[in-house]
Structure 1
Amino acid sequence: MTSYDLTTPLLGRDELITWDVVTRDTGQILATLHNVDAVHGTYYLLMHLWVNLFGDSVISMRLPSIFAASAAASVVSLIGNRLFGSRAGILAGIFFALVPAVSRYAQEARSYAFVTLVAALATLLLLLVLNRPRSAWRWAAYALTLIVLGLLHVIALSVVAAHVCLIAAHARRDRSLWWKSALALLAVAALLAPFLQLGRSQATIQLGWIPKPDGWALISIWWDVCASGACAGALLTLALLARSPRRTPLLLCAAWAVLPTMLVWLASQGDISYFRSVYLLFTVPAWALLAGAGLSAVCRSKRAAAALLAALAVLTLFDQRQVRQPFDHDGPIFQPPLDYRAAAEVIRKHHRPGDAAVYDREHAWKLDAGIQYYLPRDLTMRDVFLQSSPRQVNEFSAIDCPVPERCLKGEQRIWLLAHGADPDPLNAINQGQASALRHDYQQSWTQPVTGMTVTLLVRNDQR
């Protein structure tokens, strides 16, 4: 399910950031993380190793997320087997795999599938710890997994709230769990503290665009987390039917499903909002576990359970297709969508040695990276108005020439990649750059593609 139609969606802006960062050398990556996006630093370093080994094709960059999502489905099944029995565990794993958001982020070169996997793995390890609480090695493994989780995405540490509920339930019989768990969690907090502080210092830059959530956002987020209203409704309905002879399995899953969302919502009422559906993807396993337990409780027949699973698959078919649309990876955040692939193909067909390029960085963030990614690697063009590239300044954004006229080097042909579909593409770019180009160049021809315009400019003396 997760690997189907893997290459149809274009790389989104976040994925282009991944590509930009992981293709830098290790020293540049570490310097960049000191300035921005430290919370994704562990993922970038891992992907840096992966890309060095397997290349930076779309398939290669997205394949680790597919592996992580597939492994997460297996871990969900193992948790379900421990909590509700083997049948419920298998159903939970299938439910997890059917959630459209799981497919969506399994096909994205970002950390969220890994975060979901590690959150589920930490929960499984806690269950193993509580089965043998005297094992120091199990406590160490659990603490180490939480450290990895925090290094992958700080917000996912809110899953610990559900873990504390489970520990409290077991501590009624074994009071030593209080000090053992406190020791483990304090060690995690101490080791992550410098990283958390760095991430906090960058939060305004990274998250300043996310709106503060209101009460309705707390309700509607469930639909967004699943990337499907139908799927969210089905999971919620089946979750309400979940039954267990013990209270702790239901307590853990309910707390895992609800508490992190509540905590992130509350934390987002301050100066910085953290309330994005993708940040809460790690709660989907809890809903899948409850749904698996609910279906197992109401359907004793394998045929009936299979029929309901098939019905859910059909019910979410539209949403599964939707998350595989060419521009879905930018979703509603970046509008309009930009067809880098089509624009790069236009340039590839008509390119001549010595051609240069001008990118509209003022109105379309990462347009330059998108075009450069989809161009053949041996096709290079001088970025006319670029003063410092993102990797040169250890940032995500480039710095343009302050005096555009001084950056023109007499190129005979310049490709202008401008946001939108203005009949005069020079109107769409920085007006200082436009004035410099109008003085020496004229428009030869223009071809619109989705979200942008590809224009060939030629020097006046070549007309």
Structure 2
Amino acid sequence: MESAPPIRQLQEAAIRRIAPWRLLPPLIAAVLGLWGLERGGSMWRDESVTWQVAHRTPGAILELLGRVDAVHGLYYALMHGVFQAWDGGLWALRLPSVAATALAAAGVAAVAHRLVGERAALISGCAYAVLPPVQMYAQEGRSYALVAAAVVWATYLMLRERWIAYTVVLLIGCWLHEFAALALLAHAFTARGARGWRWSAATVVVLLLPLAAVGVRQAHQQLGWLGRPSWQDWAAYAVVGAASLLLARGAPKDLVRVALPLVLLPPGLLMAVSLLNPWYVDRYVLYALAGPALLAGARLAAARGWWPWVLAGALLVPFGIWSAWLRTPESRKDDVLAVAAAVRERARPGDAVVFMPSRRREWLLSSPDVRAGLRDVALADGPAASHSLQGTELSPERIRAALLASPRVIALQDPPGQPLDPYPREGAKREVLAGRFDLCSVTEVRGARVAVYARPGGCDTP
């Protein structure tokens, strides 16, 4: 019978388990994620989609995924479970992303520890946690923080050659968002064609094919709103890429082989493809930011003298200002809860409501109490009944007739300067309101306008 380990050995093992590089990165990520989590009580339209889809029944979610948004299917299923367990509003919507970001920061630290050491692990994990884009998606009810956590931990498992676990974790990331598969391109450079990696990569690709096939069919609905990468996108890629290349000089070669492909290849390939088929949005490859965090951690850990730390400290000033701004409603394109509040203040019982364009119906879908008092005169079938995100609308002729039968209309419109949808239904709405109604008031809300129309002489009617 073996004797029990000495107390000193147990104490040392406990200290190793609670080493700062293990605790501080996820702790900092969690604290930053919880700071200002409600963003002033705001929610933007993508989060509203998560909220209203996750509140549908499992059968209704499946019906929706057969038509649109299959790429987010696993995430919607997860969030449905969250809301079934606790319907906690904005906190329930965003806490999974906070937890995922803490997990990703711990994963970045684990990768750095594996390749460089404890000091680099601590700095790399903390560097990832404080990056403003990481903080942004730590506080969003969308899948991107979860995808980043899956890719980062898959990278760690690849380094450990745990191929079954690697396959499972990366496949989860890909099913949360299929563009996580671009991480395979980066991992190919790191794994150097290892037999285990080749089998794992092939398994991931094969098991992702059903989602990819559905995604291709839905691509026009899913990504049709995108344009080609802007000059700002290219500039941001160039700045991050150049900084990563600079940090890679003198960094340990094993770490460079992991970090540099991760930061350069997934976004670079997606941007190049988007010159032909616009698919690029920076959040789709959020996980690439683990690359510069790893390189920065390694370089700072090996730094001699004070100037690298002064430079890193100086960066915290703009990062802090940026981070504070991210906690405000103004940091997102719109605020569906502010739109709903403006409608609640201006609407009268029985008023008609019309959405211009129809996809802006999302602004009220997460506020059913506001919608309940209004007549959605253009709506044919609601979102759940039509197995769609925003419902289906009547023909232009029926929309025109329904508007003409309404004495007062609340119109929810895009801000000035946005392109007008050329579809006949949208043309009918604009034509009737401009020609047969008086404009009583226009209220500018973040990313939206709430316009009140009445039949001639009806604006002053109490």
Separation in structure 2 between the aligned mates of residue 30 and residue 263 of structure 1, nearest angstrom: 31
Structure 1, unaligned runs of 5 or more:
130-137, 172-176, 224-228, 331-337, 423-428
In structure 1, what is the equivalent of residue 226 of structure 2? 210
Could you say which residue in structure 1 is the equivalent of 2:37?
6
Q: 2:452 aligns with which of 446, 455, 462?
A: 455
Shift of the 251–157 alpha-carbon distance from structure 1 to 2, 3 Å rule, reads: same
Contact 1:238/1:295 (CA < 8 Å) preserved in 2?
no
Distance 1:250 1:421 in 2: 47
Q: How many residues align?
A: 417
1:243 aligns with 2:251: yes
Q: Specify the code of the residue in structure 2 equivalent to 1:284.
A: L
- CA distance in structure 2 between the aligned counterparts of 1:308 and 1:148, rounded to whole angstroms: 38
Q: Structure 1, residues 419-440: CA drift from partner, whole Å, max 9, x if none?
A: 4579xxxxxx956446767999
Unaligned runs of 5+ in 2: 1-31, 418-424
1:90 to 116, 119, 122: 122
| Counterpart code for 1:156 | A
**2:186 corresponds to which of 144, 147, 162:** 162
Is residue 147–residue 180 contact of structure 2 (8 Å, CA) maintained in 1?
yes
Secondary structure of 2:160's partner? helix
Partner amino acid, structure 2, of 1:197: A
Following the alignment from structure 1 to structure 2, what is the Cα–Cα distance between the partners of residues 376 and 433? 24
- 2:188 matches 1:117: no
Amino-acid identity (%): 28
Q: Is 1:287 the equivalent of 2:292? A: yes
Aligned 1:6-155 pairs, distance under 5 A: 6-8=37-39, 10-55=42-87, 57-129=89-161, 138-155=162-179
CA distance in 1, matches of 2:377, 2:207: 45
Secondary structure in structure 1 of the residue aligned to 2:329: coil
Give 1:157 shift.
Answer: 1.2
C-alpha separation between the residues in 1 aligned to 2:229 and 2:342? 42
Q: TM-score, normalised by structure 1?
A: 0.79
Deviation by residue 1:288-320 (Cα, 9 ceiling, x = unmatched): 00111111122477xx77655432211323322
Deviation at 1:253, TM superposition (A): 1.3
- 1:204 to partner: Cα distance: 2.7
Which of 228, 235, 239 is the matching residue for 1:220?
235
Report SS of the residue matched to 1:35.
coil
Equivalent residue runs for 1:49-448 within 5 Å = 49-55=81-87, 57-129=89-161, 138-168=162-192, 177-178=194-195, 180-213=196-229, 219-222=234-237, 232=240, 235-236=243-244, 239-244=247-252, 247-270=253-276, 272-299=277-304, 307-330=310-333, 338=334, 340-349=336-345, 354-362=349-357, 365-366=359-360, 368-374=361-367, 376=369, 380-402=373-395, 403-404=398-399, 407=402, 414-420=409-415, 430=426, 432-433=428-429, 445-448=440-443
SS in structure 2 at match of 1:344:
helix
* Cα distance in structure 2, aligned partners of 1:41 and 1:109: 14
| 1:421–1:453 CA contact under 8 A, matched in 2 | no
Q: Give the C-alpha shift of residue 166 in structure 1.
A: 2.1
Seen in structure 2, the aligned counterparts of structure 1 residues 299 and 414 have a Cα distance that, compared at 3 Å, is same
Deviations 1:367-415 (A, max 9, x none): x322343574795433122111222221223322221365479777654
On the 8 A contact 2:437/2:456 being kept in 1, the answer is yes
Distance 1:56 1:36, change over 3 A: farther
The whole-number CA distance in structure 1 between the counterparts of 2:224 and 2:347 is 39
Kept after mapping to 1: 8 A contact 2:339/2:363: no
User: AA paired with 1:277?
Assistant: D
With over 3 angstroms needed to count, the CA separation of the structure-2 counterparts of 1:242 and 1:64, relative to structure 1, is farther
Give the alignment's TM-score, normalised by structure 2. 0.79
Structure 1 residues 416 and 357: CA distance shift in structure 2, 3 A: same
> RMSD across aligned C-alpha pairs, in angstroms?
3.4
Residues 239, 291 of structure 1: 8 Å contact kept:
yes
CA contact (8 A) 2:58 2:77 kept: yes
